[in-house]
Amino acid sequence: MDRFRYKITIQYDGTRYHGWQIQKNHVTIQSEIEKGIKDFCSQKTSVYGSGRTDSGVHAIGQVAHFDLSEKIEPKIILNALNAKINNDIKIIYCEQVDNDFHARFSAKKRYYNYRLRTNDFLLDHYFTYQTGPLDFYLLNKASKLVAGEHDFTSFSKNNKKITNRRCIIYDSIWKETGSVLNYHIAGNRFLHHMVRYLVGTMIEIAKNKFSLKSFEELISFPKEDVRIFKAPPEGLILEKVEYE
């Protein structure tokens, strides 16, 4: 049987979803998109994402793929899916791709942004983490230590099934726009909760509650089950995924 593969780029407000991956008794981004596909073309298919985002995490450039048994114009798929799924999920691009394309395994680079707010403005609290004043200089001193290839065992949820915890981080920098601080990080891969652990620990450094030297030691000499700080999900956004 012929199979036709489609690649979609997705935006979503993850506030009311239990993350990307399908989970029993929970509403997730993946389950909503699969339901939308079945509703418009009566085909049950699996949707594969470039990576799993946690509960409450957002995306403006998540990528996924799925297969259909009939060829359908990508624009028809895009419009039909957007008509079927909830309005806090939006398909922004759809194209037919070769059958060897895989949203996760073909990805070369992933970009995340974590947003902090240092004042008490309330209207974006679903999309920023309010921290109060921070030492911006210390934030960027810490962020420079993240760049490069490291074993990020210290900054990931312990999972015995994952044996390779090395990641290449191409960019790691904080940028300041008034009372909003944006942490930009790009890498070839990310471990479970990794960005949130890094951000949470850097926040403690910027509050002078955790030392820069200890942070560097956790990167240079990775340890399992470290008692570390984790930033909440609402500030995290998957910005884009790059492919060759």
Q: Would you say 118 and 134 are in contact if contact means Cβ atoms under 8 Å apart?
A: yes
Residue type, 162: I
Question: Rounded to whole angstroms, how far apart are CA atoms 187 and 17?
Answer: 25
Q: For residue 220, with 0-12 CB atoms within 10 Å meaning exposed, 13-18 middle and 19 or more buried, which class applies?
A: exposed
**Catalytic, out of 2, 54, 124, 151:** 54
Q: Mark whether 98 is an active-site residue.
A: no
Beta carbons within 8 Å of 235's beta carbon, 6+ residues apart: 114, 115, 116, 127, 128, 129, 199
Look-up: residue for tokens 């009939």? 70
Tokens of residue 213, six digits: 């030297």
Active site residues: 54
